[in-house]
Chains A and B, each alone.
Chain A
Amino acid sequence: MSRKPASSKRTTNRLANRHTNRSSNRAASRTSNRSAARKSSYAQEYQELNFRQQEYQHAEYKQSGSLLTTDDLSSLHVGGRDSEQDKQVGPVYGMTKTKRHFIVASVLVIIFLLVVIFGGALVPYNPYAQDLMNARQAPSAAHLLGTDQFGRDLLSRVIEGGKFTVFASLILVAFITLFGGLLGAICGWRGGWLDTLIMRISDVFLAFPGMVFAIAVAGVLTGGLMSAVIALACISWPKYARLVRGLVLSTKNMAYVDAARMSGKKGITILMCDIMPNIAGPIIVTAAIDIGHMIIEIAGLSFLGLGAQVPTPEWGAMMSNGRSLIQLYPWIILAPGTACFIAVAVFNIFADACRDMFDPKIREA
């Protein structure tokens, strides 16, 4: 009946026994007059409950195919659980294909971030300095990506611009993940009127077409990169609130949560120490995918004049400035456009690798 009965049962029993033992010890210290037989009865009841919950999880897993079970997630965060395939030595570097992809993607992201962080020290020219005598120069040995209409070196500006575009995206994703995730977790855990209120507010935000709403907010805030980040944060947090709320709702009645309750933990502690670590996988994957989206959207708002302002070398703003020259001097728009494409590709590859790593079905395939 169960797809992985041996490992699942072992894990369940291990967890249940651990929590049950803790619970029993604390109960014993508080109420010394309770009988050992009664304790044993409780433990057996919860073991049975855990087992039924686990069976239900496996049935759900089989039906949905790609749904991550709490067991899968918990195994990733509670010390990890290597599958048989993972334990096999791969043909290269002794790793599975998924892990190799993940490491390669991580290295790409690290290299990219290093270029963005330290590139400013390596750029050949001051990215802000105008040199009108060299305006609109085609790519050459002196200017590898050419110059713009003000004679500014495009390579220097593209590298400098990465700081604005990429870091604004990372800050934005971090904020909406934490803020939306926190609200979603509270909604899922508390339920009741608070859940209804926050979800209806999120409905309001979701009712508008995202980019149109972002343009309106950025316009009201009179432009600037910070305005663009705030505008995108306004439209993006409900996605995380709903995701985390759903995950919390699906896990809060699971056996290990009951076991944590029985061990005397309080609500917020269970939410933060037991539930959140076990639902982090899908949230991290979603956030990783969103980095690429946010790079595009921040650049989009800047392209429309609602993000970074001149002379900031933000990629969207650079493309906007070069738009009018696309027919005669295409390199002015191609340079930031290509940088944007590479950044999104790198983060999307990383997001795919994260997804594969966190999905036991793919990881073990």
Chain B
Amino acid sequence: MGAKRGEHIVRVRTKTIGIIFVAAIAVLLLVLVGCASSGSNARSSANSFTYGTTSTWSTENEDHGFNPHNTYCGWTTVRLGVGETLFKFDDDMQIQPWIAQDYTFTDDTTAVITIKDNVCFSNGKKVDGQAVKECLDDLVANHDRAPSDLKIQSIDADGQQVTIHLAEPNPALMYYLSDPYGTIVDMDSECDEHTCVGTGPYVVQSTSGDTVELAKNENYWDGDVHVDHITVRNISDGDTLTMALQNGDIDAAYGIPYLDRALFDNNSGYHISQTATSRVFECAFNYHHSVMQDQNVRRAICMSLSSEEFVDILLDGYGETAVGPFPDTFSFAADPSDAAPYDPDGARQLLEQDGYTDSDGDGYLDKDGQTLEITWLTYPSRQELPQLAEYAQSKLKDVGIKVDVNNTADHRNFVRSDDFDVYASAIVSAPQGDPQYYFTTQYLDSSSYDAGHYSNPQVTADIETLSTTFDTQERSDLARQIQQEVLADNGYYYASFLQMAIVSNNRVSGLEAHPCDYYELTADLRVN
């Protein structure tokens, strides 16, 4: 009786295990089928294109929207090929006509711009002088940086001509009008976070969360558009972006981590378009904090960090070393001899001369009972920045400075509340190919991005002079002089420049990186 019952139990158990095994296999097959279908999404339609990016349409940055008159949203409008500016930059960062045909300065404060006759918005409306005037009027009325950059007093429109009257001479006017905030949009149509009507090859179809759907602009004025539909996905994590490109979820990617580039280099399945940009990784010292007001401390920090070491080893060579805010491809780049030399021993001596000693033997210097401790604020969306923070933490520890790293996506709030000693960030220093933009946004008391509250009357006076100087050579000389003064103050530390890269698979052509860092999706894009 007992044996029979035992056999029965064994049979039942065997049957149960068999059912579970079959069910597990079935679930596994379903999962595999599911993965297979999602992996082939990007290849599902021959004339559609999926683009992954770490930067554009990012809630972490100030470009989450399409209204170019709102902070940096113009970058999204131009990067995604929805809008265009009056002038654009060529590969040498020289301005060329785009919507505008040409311009002339009739005197120091009057500029006349002629609009091309065949340009129309994506809704079919013709772009004339009046449309440009309305757009620029709204820009000056609403944008945070444009009024001080452009110095526009009034605008007149007559047919295809626009006459701009300036409050004071502004030799960089055309450069500023080429900034993404100068994107010409139809002010009679809706223009907000989710849509706008521009003149670019693509129109916004919809937005949801981290995704933007674009469609071909059937009324595009400058030739044929070859892609019918584009999906843009903001993928803030660089590693996820790499894997999305590898498994075919996206066709091309902007923001692949530099160390992952080796996966695509010399790989026949992918194409890499890369170029040096003026996006500089810089550190601003907080002049509102007493420890940072000590120039010896600032200089010791600069002397403890090696730009070459950071680029060659930590960035694996995918970057350019920095001296000042502009790469040496610009005529107004700083002279390498202006920067503090890399000399950790000298940095230590400098601090000891300043009265710092390691009195408690904890490895960190102190003075008046206070350990030399600084807070290093940075953010994770640019992968170089956390690397720089950890590198600096170790290097400064060797010198005797204790570094607390605060690596947070909420960095802007910490900046507003002055809760940092060093703020490491990445900024495009010359988006218009001209130095004035960077100086006015960083070095003046009134600058919107002067996180460290740097102020030097001589620098302020020189920037004023620069803003009224038309001669190119004189502008370059002045720009170098200003950088020399700031570097002598050790007001900032410049670590490196971004080497921008767009990696695409073999289906894609016509997607090329540009030194200005904001021309990405254009009418040249093709998908095979």
Complex-state Cα separation, A325 to B262, whole angstroms: 11
8 A Cβ contacts from A324-341 to B: 324-328
Cross-interface CB contact of B389 among A130, A310, A327, A328, cutoff 8 Å: A310
Complex-state Cα separation, A324 to B386, whole angstroms: 12
Question: A328 near B260 (CB under 8 angstroms)?
Answer: yes
Interface string of B376-420 (1 = CB under 8 A from A): 000010010011011101110100000001010000000000000
Assign chain B's interface to a size class: 20 to 34
Question: Across the interface, which residues of A come within 8 angstroms of B32, CB to CB?
Answer: none
State the main secondary structure of chain B at its contact with A: helix
Interface string of A304-339 (1 = CB under 8 A from B): 010001110000000000011111100000000000
B238 at the interface (CB under 8 A from A): yes
Question: Across the interface, which residues of B come within 8 angstroms of A201, CB to CB?
Answer: none
A216 at the interface (CB under 8 A from B): no
Question: B263 near A327 (CB under 8 angstroms)?
Answer: yes
B259 at the interface (CB under 8 A from A): yes
Question: A305 near B393 (CB under 8 angstroms)?
Answer: no
State the main secondary structure of chain A at its contact with B: loop
8 A Cβ contacts from B24-82 to A: none
Complex-state Cα separation, A326 to B262, whole angstroms: 13
8 A Cβ contacts from A126-153 to B: 128-130, 132-133, 135, 149-150
Question: Across the interface, which residues of A come within 8 angstroms of B515, CB to CB?
Answer: none
Question: A324 near B383 (CB under 8 angstroms)?
Answer: yes
Question: Across the interface, which residues of B come within 8 angstroms of A150, CB to CB?
Answer: 314, 390-391, 394
B257 at the interface (CB under 8 A from A): yes
B92 at the interface (CB under 8 A from A): no
Q: Tell me the nearest residue of chain B to A132, going by C-beta.
A: B313
Question: B407 near A311 (CB under 8 angstroms)?
Answer: no
Question: Across the interface, which residues of A come within 8 angstroms of B309, CB to CB?
Answer: 132
Complex-state Cα separation, A323 to B386, whole angstroms: 14
Chain A residue total in the interface (Cβ 8 A): 18
Question: Across the interface, which residues of A come within 8 angstroms of B405, CB to CB?
Answer: 309-310
Question: B313 near A135 (CB under 8 angstroms)?
Answer: yes
Question: A311 near B263 (CB under 8 angstroms)?
Answer: no
8 A Cβ contacts from B237-272 to A: 238-239, 242, 257, 259-260, 262-263
Known: A149-B314, A309-B405, A310-B405. A327 touches B393 (CB 8 A): no
Question: B314 near A135 (CB under 8 angstroms)?
Answer: yes
Complex-state Cα separation, A150 to B314, whole angstroms: 7
Question: A310 near B393 (CB under 8 angstroms)?
Answer: yes
Question: A130 near B259 (CB under 8 angstroms)?
Answer: no
Nearest Cβ on chain B to A150's Cβ, whole angstroms:
7
Nearest Cβ on chain A to B373's Cβ, whole angstroms:
14
Complex-state Cα separation, A128 to B391, whole angstroms: 11
Chain A to chain B contacts (Cβ below 8 Å), 9 pairs:
A129-B394, A130-B394, A150-B314, A310-B386, A310-B390, A311-B393, A326-B239, A327-B260, A328-B260
Report which B residues bind A (CB closer than 8 A): 238-239, 242, 257, 259-260, 262-263, 309, 313-314, 380, 383, 386-387, 389-391, 393-395, 397, 405, 407
Apart from A309-B405, A310-B389: 11 A-B pairs, beta carbons within 8 A: A129-B394, A130-B394, A135-B314, A149-B314, A150-B390, A310-B386, A311-B390, A311-B393, A311-B394, A323-B239, A328-B262
